[in-house]
Structure 1
Amino acid sequence: MGEKLHWWQTRMFVAAMVIAATIPLLWPDIPPLVDLPGHMARYRVQLAIGDNPWLHRWFDFSWSLIGNLGIDLLIEPLAPLFGLELAVKLIVIAIPALTVAGLLWIAREVHGRIPATALFALPLAYSYPFQFGFINFALSMALALNLFAWWLRLARLGRLRFRAIIFVPLSCALWVCHTFGWGVLGVLALSAELIRQHDLRRDAGSGHWFASLVRAGLGCLPLALPMVLMVFWRSGDHVTGQTADWFNWQAKYNWVMMVLRDRWQWWDVASATVLFLILVKGVRDRRIEYSRNLGLSAALLFAVFLILPRIVFGSAYADMRLAPFALAIAVIALRPRGGLSFRGAATFATLGLVFFGARLAGTTWSYWLYDRSYDRTLAALAHVPERARVVSFVGRRCQDDWAYSRLEHIPGMLMVRKLAYTNDQWSMAGAQQLTARYYAARGFAHDPSQIVTDRRCRGEWWRPIDMALEKLPRDAFDYVWLLQPPRYDPALVRGMTPVWRDGTSTLFRIDDRRPPVARAPVNPPV
């Protein structure tokens, strides 16, 4: 430990990486994450429903103790200080910064120094789950990484009693942020404690794995209290949502290849391939080895990823969310064995830094392009009066295109900026505080009614555009907002006046509330 630190191991370098991780998010007014505008709409209801009781005609909002409240709680003190949009942006900016800090801190605690290979894990701060806008999840995972690093540090310093005391409330707070982060912290802590206990008993001449596992489990009891909270949360009559789609191996393979999915498929897949090659090099290159501590942690996380179904309690993409973090822990588990020279280590560090910089540059460019798209789209809001009732239809294809338009929940900005009704809110009792109760909208009250396609898509609830326009209860809405829609029958928008247009996107004011005459659709279902 007395050796001079290399440039990639200094606190100054770590601080620079943490700051660099925020660059892609500095320019966009709204972080261009798929689900984020929808979450922002929920925050607006949360903040405004007390002063605007008429919102109760559209939504029901009631606080309850659930494991999915991270930003929902943070926004309460921050929105009055900064305004809702800036407060959300500041929180979102902190997520990749905390993720980078956590990964480097864990590497430092486990290896004693930050290994050069750890830099390759940093682009995973902008992993696909983050791009998708799972922000409570992403925040909880960023916090879990830092809490795990502190868990390791307190063990290294021998402050086990203090650790046992302080992690009781910390684990509960992490569970409230998002259950997933708490679960991952438990896996990481258990694997680290198992290795620590085994090494202690081995040094004492009794390194039996079963006894070490028992002691490790006892050492992790301070993290167990949220299990009681979980039972209360999931046992209520109000809780809905199925757990389904087990062992979908094709989907799991896709999730692994999509860990860095953003806009350009060739670039994102090539970048993921670099990470896989780094892991293979750790097996084949005798100058590099895996830490037993983090190697076991990565193995357990990959095992959980394989076991998890795609849908848990009605929440989709449960297994997908874990893939990038299992990969990140595997990458930072690598370290030089001793035969790696300073020159070799410096080369690895330089390549890792270039890789991180290249990914940041690509993400920054991508976010700038999405920001331009958002600006053009949100110009429509100037033509919507406050408290209007707007039904939005966002076009997409049945095929899962690599680059989303990221407009799927942009209608949520109607609520954020105009307190106007939007039909893109999730409505699942027990999963969040808000449920839709605008009964006049019938089947157009909540997500995914805002998604429309050119035909029926197998396994999806999305409506073809012509069906959506024909079945729409016009008397429940004032405007129809079409966002990059598929081709549709113009007769279905008769009685509506276009008040804004950008390319194929159009905002219609509903003047004639009588339903259109039934007719054969232009694009019959296939």
Structure 2
Amino acid sequence: MIQAAAPPSRPGAARPWWEGRPFVAAMVLLAFVPFIYPQIPPIVDIGGHMGRYKVAADVAHSQMLQQWFTFHWLPIGNLGVDLLVVPLSKLLGIELATKLVVMSIPPLTVAGMLWVAREVHNRLPPTVAFALPLAFGHPFMFGFVNFSLSMALAMLAFGLWLRLGRLGKSRLRALLFVPISFVVFFAHTFGWGTLGLMCFSAEAVRQHDRGWSWWMAIIRAAYHASVMALPVLLILVWRSEATGGLTHRWFDWEYKWEYLLRMFRDRWETYDIVSAGIVLAVPLFALVHPRLTLSRNLAFSGLVLAASYVLLPRIVFGSAYADMRLVPFAAAIFILAIRFKKETRYPLATWLAIAAVGFMLVRLAGTTVSMAIAGKRQAEQLKALDYVLMGSRVAVLVWDKCEQWPLRRSDHLGAIATVRREAYTNDHWPMAGATLMTVRYPAAGWFQRDPSQIVRDPGCRHEGWSVHAALNNLPRDAFDYLWLIDMRPIPRTWVEGWRPVWAGEGSILLEREPLSGGGEAPPPATRPAASVPAQSATVPAQR
């Protein structure tokens, strides 16, 4: 059964530990922990983002970058982390600025979730911590940082919307949410749209609770939420100037089911799937338990997000995983909706709080260990860049192991060469209407941009270049270095014309040899002889 929100705790009664400020502070601060150790946040797409930040920050005064990249700021709905990192990088550099901004996204998301729960229930329910690990859900771990920042801001804004509605300050709310809607929109369009859905659905319940029929409540809710509609004008201009970017893959049920199981996808399949199962089971447990229920306010918001997930296609304007991004937040809203039907039963509440915090700590510990493992490997792989000359052209190939469960952090690792060496790499992703950076290097042919760096073996779920075909078609004269990352053993004959200059854990760097007809490769960087792999019949898999 779904009911209205419970009254606040009894006046004068001591708050249970999960409702106090120390608990809130601890939950927010713990969300910083997983990214303290890694030098670069080891999430899938972050290298490509950092390459773009480097171009945005330095292309105006770097002749090296100007050979291949241009960047023009425009008012589009995909700027969140860019607008923070680029100016901050003037003081701290691209890498530290990116780390500080990205590691702040989960704590902001956690704070937003806690605020929403507090406003709806007039207290923090004991189950609230079950939702908090979703701040590290699949979309964030995949590296959708602009989207993730926009959702963190949307959760915080939703908490403010609920608070001002509860206090009866609708006029003030309308004034504030005009600029707030633009802030969330510029972070990422998806967060703005989700904020609108959450605010509309919550307002419809509030209007119904004030005595309006459901039809009138929906009309009045749409009227109140319309203060956030002005960014639509920017979307019309933005999309009218964009070309390409198809919207398709509607009702792809196989993927929609997989995304439910993948909401925590990171490194360990059983651990991640069991965690997803727990998150999905908790709201169902509340519905069948005689003392628990769901707040109508948040349950309706959760149903609206769930319906949006079903209706969204997999690819929107050329951007993949559009529907997947909603999963952790819809699940979180249902968990945040859990409350007691009548008075809080503190023995049961205490056990629920202990279970929720235990789940949160177990997930946080796993994420921290996973990030440490990935960060260490990433740091070893990036030692290859010590042997790359400034302004070089680097062809990057990353072996796809047919989509095994562990996320590949190496898909866009090559773009760090742009950050550290102002190099050209083939893994940047200019996309019509979605990014402000353009890549122009016709000599690279197919290897001009993402996804040319991803190579697969026959039989993989997604078709693409095989390792052999990619190496055969690589325009040798267009690149100075060939960087093989997470590559399986391959015959050395596949890389004729390239000499190895460095090999380490998960990474091997080869340099173009001088042409027999008299052409010359660029002068080699200084390197210790011990770093060069021994000659053999195959290029070895990295350790």
The TM-score bracket by the shorter chain reads over 0.9
SS at match of 1:241: coil
CA–CA distance in structure 1, aligned partners of residues 338 and 237 of structure 2: 40
For 1:308-457, what aligned pairs fall within 5 Å after superposition?
Answer: 308-338=312-342, 340-397=344-401, 399-455=402-458, 457=460
Shift of 1:485: 1.6
Following superposition, the deviation at residue 458 of structure 1 comes to: 5.4
Q: Distance in 2 between matches of 1:281 and 1:189?
A: 26
Q: Residues of 1 paired with 2:67 and 2:136: CA distance?
A: 38
Matched with 1:187 is 197
> What do residues 8-54 of structure 1 show as CA deviations (whole Å, max 9, x unaligned)?
11112101100001111111101110000110011001111011134
Partner of 1:273: 277
**Please, which of 212, 215, 219 is the counterpart of residue 217 of structure 2?**
212
| Contact map agreement 1:496 1:512 (CA 8 A) in 2 | no
**Alignment equivalent of 1:223, drawn from 222, 228, 231:** 228
State the 1:430 CA deviation: 1.4
- 3-state SS of the aligned residue for 1:85? helix
Measure, in 1, the Cα distance between the counterparts of 2:106 and 2:313: 26
> Contact conserved, 1:262 with 1:403, CA < 8 A, in 2?
yes
Q: Return the alpha-carbon distance in structure 2 between the equivalents of residues 86 and 458 of structure 1.
A: 36
Paired letter, 2:509? L
Q: Is the 8 A contact 1:108 1:114 kept in 2?
A: yes
Aligned to 2:509: 507
CA distance in 1, matches of 2:214, 2:516: 73
Task: Find the aligned partners of 1:513 and 1:317 in 2 and give their Cα distance.
Answer: 44
2:96 equivalent in structure 1: 86
Partner of 2:28, secondary structure, is: helix
**Alpha-carbon contact 1:465-1:486 (below 8 Å) kept:** no
Partner of 2:137: 127
Structure 1 residues 478 and 138, CA gap change in structure 2 (3 angstroms): same
- Secondary structure, in 3 states, of the residue corresponding to 1:50? helix
Relative distance call for 1:456 and 1:347 in structure 2 (3 A) is: closer
SS at match of 1:482: strand
The reply on whether 1:162 has 2:164 as its aligned counterpart is no
**Equivalent residue number for residue 485 of structure 1:** 487
Whole-angstrom distance in 1 between the partners of 2:344 and 2:79 = 46
Partner of 1:38: 48
Is the 1:429–1:435 Cα contact (8 Å) retained in structure 2?
no
**How far apart, in 1, do the equivalents of 2:436 and 2:48 lie?**
13
Give the Å deviation of 1:245: 0.5
Match of 1:241 among 238, 242, 245: 245
Q: Is the 8 A contact 1:263 1:402 kept in 2?
A: yes
Distance 1:501 1:408 in 2: 18
8 A Cα contact 1:474 1:513, kept in partner:
no
Describe the shift of the 1:343–1:485 C-alpha distance in structure 2 as closer, same or farther (beyond 3 A).
Answer: same
Q: C-alpha displacement at 1:375, in angstroms?
A: 1.3
Q: Gaps spanning 5+ residues in structure 1: where?
A: 516-521
Summarize the Cα distance change of 1:139–1:239 in structure 2 as closer, same or farther, 3 Å threshold.
Answer: same
Give the counterpart letter for 1:211 in structure 2.
M
Once the 2 structures are TM-superposed, how far is the Cα of residue 190 of structure 1 from its aligned partner?
Answer: 0.2
2-structure distance, mates of 1:431, 1:339 = 50
Displacement of 1:321 in angstroms is 0.3
TM-score under structure 2 length normalisation = 0.91
Report the equivalent of 1:117: 127
Runs (4+) of structure 1 moved beyond 6 Å? none
Number of the residue aligned with 2:520: none
* Deviation of 1:357 (Å): 0.5
Deviation at 1:504, TM superposition (A): 6.3
Q: Distance in 1 between matches of 2:352 and 2:373?
A: 32
Instruction: Please give the alpha-carbon distance, in whole angstroms, between the structure 1 residues aligned to 2:516 and 2:491.
Output: 17
Q: State the 1:453 CA deviation.
A: 1.6
Cα distance in 1 for partners of 2:472, 2:184 equals: 46
Shift of 1:456: 6.4
Contact 1:278 1:331 in 2 (8 A): yes
Alignment-derived partner of residue 18 in structure 1: 28
CA apart distance, 1:253: 0.5
Aligned alpha-carbon RMSD (Å) = 1.5
- 1:220 aligned counterpart, secondary structure: helix
Cα deviation per residue 1:354-389 (whole Å; 9 max; x = unaligned)? 110011111111111001111110111111111111
- CA shift, 1:450, in A, is 0.6
- Per the alignment, residue 4 of structure 2 pairs with none
Aligned to 1:232: 237
Alpha carbons 2:381, 2:506 under 8 Å: kept: no
Q: What amino acid is the match of 2:352?
A: F
Q: Secondary structure at the match of 1:353?
A: helix
Give the drift of 1:457.
4.2
Whole-Å Cα distance in 2 between the matches of residues 121 and 409 of structure 1?
Answer: 30
Give the residue type in structure 2 aligned to 1:124. Answer: L
The structural deviation recorded for 1:455 is 2.7
- Residue 503 of structure 1: how far off its partner (Å): 5.3
- Matched to 1:219, the amino acid is H
What amino acid sits opposite 2:215 in the alignment?
A: F
Q: Deviations over 1:309-349 (max 9, x none)?
A: 00000000000000110000000001011265211101111
Question: 1:221 Cα deviation (Å)?
Answer: 1.4
**Secondary structure in structure 1 of the residue aligned to 2:511:** strand
Higher mean displacement: 502-511 or 280-289: 502-511
Alpha-carbon shift at residue 154 of structure 1 (Å): 0.8
Q: Which moved more, 1:58-67 or 1:41-50?
A: 58-67
CA distance in 2, matches of 1:492, 1:318: 38
* In 1, Cα distance between equivalents of 2:385 and 2:217: 61
- Structure 1 residue 229 displacement after superposition: 1.1
Structure 2 counterpart of 1:496, which letter?
Answer: W
Shift of 1:513: 5.0
TM-score of the superposed pair, with normalisation by structure 1 = 0.94
Measure, in 2, the Cα distance between the counterparts of 1:513 and 1:473: 13
> Does structure 2 conserve the Cα–Cα contact (< 8 Å) formed by 1:474 and 1:514?
no
Aligned residues: 508
Q: Please give the secondary structure, in 2, of the residue aligned with 1:369.
A: helix
Note the alpha carbon deviations across 1:250-309, whole angstroms, 9 max, x for none. 100000111111100110111111112211111110100100000000000000000000
Q: Say which of 460, 464, 467 aligns to 1:465.
A: 467
Q: What is the CA–CA distance in structure 1 between the aligned matches of 2:235 and 2:392, rounded to whole Å?
A: 39
SS at match of 1:4: coil
Question: 1:83: Cα distance to partner?
Answer: 1.6
Name which of structure 1's ranges 76-85 and 259-268 shifts more when overlaid on structure 2. Answer: 76-85
Tell me what 2:527 maps to. none
- 2:309 corresponding residue in structure 1: 305
The more displaced of 495-504 and 436-445 is 495-504
Q: Secondary structure, in 3 states, of the residue corresponding to 1:301?
A: helix
CA shift in 2, pair 1:368/1:458, >3 Å: closer
Alignment match, 1:27:
37
Q: Check whether the contact 2:295–2:337 (CA below 8 A) recurs between aligned residues.
A: yes
| One-letter amino acid of the structure 1 residue matched with residue 482 of structure 2 | V
